[in-house]
Chains A and B, each alone.
Chain A
Amino acid sequence: MTGGPSLRRKPPRVGDGAAIRRTLIASVLVVGAILVLAPLVVILHQAFSRGFAFFAEAITHPDTLHAIWLTGAAALIAVPVNTAFGVAAAWAITKFDFWGRRFLLVVIEIPFSISPIVAGVAYLFVYGLQGLFGPALDAAGIKILFALPGIVLASMFVTAPFVARELIPLMQAQGRDLEEAATSLGASGWRTFFSVTLPNIRWALLYGVVLCNARVMGEFGAVSVVSGNIRGQTNTLPLHIELLYHDYNTVGAFAAASILTVLAIVTIVAKVLLERQGAGRGGRPALASPVAPQGKSS
C-alpha cells in the first residue's frame, strides 16, 4: 500500500478505495430509488392518470371526504391525549423514583413491539358485545366499537409510545437539578413545569407530536379491526384506500393515497425543520445539549 506512485498520497483507510466507495453509494441509491422513491412516483402518476378532473372528483366523493374528516377527527382527539400521556409518563419515569418504574417503561414500549392487529382484536374482546365491558357499555347506550371512540382508542394504543420515547432520553439526560432548583426558589409544580421543564423539552415534544400524528393518520391494522369498515361511516383514510382498491377503483385509491403521501411529505419537512431547531439556535441558545456541562471555565 505504501508503494503508491505519489508520496503525498496517504494509504487509504479500510473501504476507502474509490471503487468500493462508488459501488456502495450507487447500490444504496439504486435500492433507495426502487424501494422508496418509485412507489411514491407511481402513486402520484396513477392518481392523475385520467386527468386532474377525475382526480378532483375522486377526492371530493362524499365517502372519501368523510374518510378524511374521520381521520382528522381521530387525530385531533388521539394526538393531544397521547401528548399529555407521553409528557406525564416521561415526567414520572425521569423525575420520580417509585415502585414499578421499570415496569411502566416496559408497558409504554409494548405497542412498539406488538402487531397493531393484535391490539385491535384485543380491543374487540374488551369492548365488544361478548367482551369484558361490552354488555355494560351497551346497556348504558355507549357505542365504542365500530364508531369514532373505538378508532380513537385503537389509534391511541398504537401511538402511545411516540411522545414518551422522544422525551424520556432527553429528560433523563437533563436530570432533576433544574426542577429542584426551581422548587427551591419557591416555584410551584405547575410553574416549574411550564417555565423550566417545558421550554427545555419543547422541540423534542413537537417532534414526538409530529411523528404521533403521522402514525395516527396512517394507522391501518388496529383501526381496521375495531372500525368495522363501514363505508361513509367508520372508514378512515387508510381503510378507505383499501376499499377503493378492492372495488377496482384504482384512480380513486391512488387519489386518496396521494393525500396520505402529501401528509407524509409535510411530516418529513416538519421533522427536518424541528431537527434543525433542536440542533441550531433560533435567537436563543440550543436546548438540546445536556444541562450540566462539566465546568468549562475560562
Chain B
Amino acid sequence: MKIRLDNVVKTFDTFRAVHGVSLDIESGELVALLGPSGSGKTTILRMVAGLEFADGGTIHFGDQDATDIPVRDRGVGFVFQHYALFPHMTVGENVAFGMKVSKVKRSATEIAARVDELLRLVRLEGLGNRFPNQISGGQRQRVALARALAVDPKVLLLDEPFGALDANVRRDLRRWLREIHEELGITTLFVTHDQEEALDLADRVVILDQGRIVQEGTPEQVCRTPNSAFVMNFLGDANRLPATVSNGKARVGGTELEAAGFANGRANIYLRPRDLDWSEEAPGIAATITRVIDKPDGRRILATTVDGDHVELDVVPETVARVGDSGFVRIHRARVFAEAD
C-alpha cells in the first residue's frame, strides 16, 4: 500500500510539532523517520496511524483519503516502543486479540492456527501460554510485532521499536525485522533517533529537524551527500573548522579544498574523523595531540590546531601518537557548508 503525505501540519497547543511535511512512501518500501527528539517524527507516525489527527494537509493510503479515518478502521499495525502488550493476557491471547475483535468473524480453530503461524514467524513457538512479564524484552517486542501482523495490516508502523532494548538484542532484532519485511513485503514506516539503526534497516531514510524534512534519500545518498551541516552532524561524528573561501577554494590552516559555487568569505568545513590522518611531517594543519583513545579497530586522536580548534581523528592502530606530540592533520575528504548552515 502506497502512503502519501501532503503538506501535513500538526500543532499541540501553541507548539507546532509538524510543519507542512510531504512524503511519498512506495508500496513495500521500508522507510525510516530519523531525527532528534522533538523533531516531530513520532507525531508524523501517529498521524499516519490515526492516533493523532492532522490539523492541515492530507494523508492518502493508495487512492483513498485516510486523513479522517479513525485508527480502528485504518488497517494499520502499530508497534509501540514499550510493547504495550496486554499484561492480563497470555502471549497467544495477545496475538489473537485483533482477530477476535475484528468485524470479520473467524472460527476459534482458525484463530488458533493463525496464532501458531505468527508465533512461528516471530520465532516464539511454544511460548503462547506465557504471560508478557514472563518473557524477555526482545521477546515481548516480537510478540508485539506478531500481534500487529495478525490483523493483516496494509501498513506497518513502528515507534522506536528497539529503543528499550540492550544493544546486542537490538542488533539481532534489526536484522530479523529486515528479514520479516523481505518475506512479507508490507509497507513499513519506523521512527528512530538512532542513525545507525536507520541506515542499517531502511531502504530510504527521511531526516527530520524541528518538524520539517531536511533530507530524504537512500542511506547511500544521505551518507555521501548530506545537504546541510545539520545532516552531516546528525548522521555521525563530525569536526567543524572555520575556513575562508576565495575564488572557489576554501582555505584552512594552509590547506586548500575545492569549494566551487561558494561566495567569497567565511564558510565551515565539516570532516569525519575517519577522513583525517595524522602525520609527523607537513603538509597539513599543524596541531598538538591532547588525548589518545584506543579502540578495538583503531585509535582516536584528539588534537588542537594552531588556530585553537579541536579536531578528532580516527587513525589506524599502528599510528604513533602520544599526548603532547606535535604534527600535522591531513585531510582526505571534507564537505564545505556556508556559514548560515
A297 neighbours in B (Cβ, 8 Å) = 136-139, 165-166, 169
Q: From known contacts A285-B131, A298-B136, infer whether A177 and B98 are also in contact, taking CB-CB under 8 Å.
A: no
Tell me the complex Cα distance, A191–B86, Å.
Answer: 14
Known: A293-B133, A297-B166. A185 touches B147 (CB 8 A): yes
> Which residue of A has the minimal Cβ distance to B70?
A183
Interface string of B62-75 (1 = CB under 8 A from A): 00000000111110
Task: Check B166 against A295 for contact (C-beta < 8 Å).
Answer: yes
Contact status B103-A292, CB under 8 Å: no
List the one stretch of B77-85, B233-241, B245-253, B332-340 in contact with chain A: B77-85
Could you tell me the distance between the alpha carbons of A182 and B97 in the complex, rounded to whole angstroms? 8
- Taking a contact as CB atoms under 8 Å apart, the answer to whether A180 and B137 are in contact is no
Q: What are the residues of chain A within 8 A of B150 when measuring CB–CB?
A: 185
B88/A199 in contact, CB under 8 A: yes
Verify if B107 is at the interface (C-beta below 8 Å from A).
no
Q: Does A249 interact with chain B (Cβ within 8 Å)?
A: no
- B95-113: which have CB < 8 Å to A? 97-98, 101-103
Q: Interface size class for chain A?
A: 20 to 34
Tell me, in angstroms, the Cα distance from A285 to B132 when the chains sit together: 9
Q: With an 8 A cutoff between CB atoms, is A196 at the interface? A: yes
The smallest beta-carbon distance between A52 and chain B, in angstroms, is 48
State which of A183, A191, A195, A291 has its C-beta within 8 Å of the C-beta of B71: A183
User: Roughly how many angstroms separate A152 CA and B50 CA in the complex, as a whole number?
Assistant: 43
Q: Which of B78, B141, B169 contacts A180 (CB 8 A)?
A: B78
Cβ of B101 and Cβ of A295 under 8 Å apart?
no
In the complex formed, the residue of A with least CB distance to B46 is A180
With contacts A292-B84, A296-B137, A297-B165 taken as known, whether A181 is within 8 angstroms of B78 at the C-beta atoms is yes
| B166 x A285 contact (CB < 8 A) | no
Does B255 count as interface, using CB distance less than 8 angstroms?
no
Q: Kindly state whether residue A187 has any CB partner on chain B within 8 Å.
A: yes
- Contact call B88/A284, Cβ cutoff below 8 A: yes
Min CB gap A137→B, angstroms: 42
Report if A200-B87 is in contact (Cβ < 8 Å); known contacts: A181-B80, A187-B97: yes
A172 contacts the other chain (Cβ, under 8 Å)? no
A113 interface residue, CB < 8 Å from B?
no
B164 to chain A: closest residue by CB: A295
The answer to whether A284 touches B131, judged by C-beta atoms less than 8 angstroms apart, is yes
CB-defined contacts of B147 to chain A, threshold 8 Å: 181, 185
B284 shortest CB reach to chain A, Å? 46
> A54 vs B78: C-alpha distance in the bound complex, in angstroms?
69
Query: Separation in Å of the A107 CB from the closest CB of chain B?
Result: 22
Q: Answer yes or no: B319 CB below 8 A from chain A CBs.
A: no
Whether the pair B133, A185 counts as a contact (CB closer than 8 A) is: no
Assess whether A115 is interfacial by the CB under 8 Å rule: no
The listed residue (B49, B72, B74, B85) touching A187 by CB distance below 8 A is B72
Chain A residues with Cβ below 8 Å from B84 are 177-178, 180-181, 291-292
Given contacts A181-B78, A187-B72, contact A296 B136 (CB under 8 A): yes
Q: Closest CB of chain A to B24's CB: distance in Å?
A: 23
Which of B88, B97, B137, B169 counts the most A-chain CB atoms under 10 A from its CB? B88
Q: How far is the CA of A271 from the CA of B134 in the complex (A)?
A: 28
A residues in contact with B101, CB < 8 Å: 182, 185-188, 191, 195
B189 adjacent to chain A (CB < 8 Å): no
Please measure, in the bound complex, the distance between the C-alpha atom of A190 and the C-alpha atom of B117, giving whole angstroms: 29
A130 at the interface (CB under 8 A from B): no
Q: Mark B163-179, 1 if CB is under 8 A from A, else 0.
A: 01110010000000000
A200 near B88 with CB under 8 A, answer yes
Contact check, B51 vs A178: say whether CB atoms are below 8 A apart. Answer: no
Identify the closest chain B residue to A292 (Cβ).
Answer: B82
- Identify which of residues 276-291 in chain A touch chain B, using a CB-to-CB cut-off of 8 Å: 284-287, 289, 291
Residue of B nearest to A293 (CB): B133
Q: How far is the CB of A279 from chain B (nearest CB, A)?
A: 14
What 1/0 mask marks residues of chain A from 156 to 183 whose CB sits below 8 Å from any chain B CB? 0000000000000000000001101111
How many Å lie between the Cα of A187 and that of B133 in the bound state? 23
Chain A residues with Cβ under 8 A from B148's Cβ?
Answer: 184-185
Taking A177-B82, A293-B133, A295-B166 as contacts, is the C-beta distance between A185 and B87 under 8 angstroms? no
Excluding A186-B151, A285-B87, 11 further A-B contacts by CB distance (< 8 Å) are A180-B51, A181-B80, A181-B86, A182-B86, A183-B70, A183-B71, A184-B78, A285-B133, A285-B134, A287-B88, A292-B83
27 contacts between A and B (CB under 8 A): A177-B82, A180-B51, A181-B78, A181-B80, A184-B74, A184-B77, A184-B78, A184-B148, A185-B98, A185-B101, A185-B147, A186-B151, A195-B101, A285-B131, A285-B134, A286-B133, A287-B88, A292-B84, A294-B82, A295-B82, A295-B137, A295-B164, A295-B169, A296-B137, A297-B137, A297-B166, A298-B136
Closest 4 A/B residue pairs (Cβ) = A295-B137, A292-B82, A297-B137, A185-B98
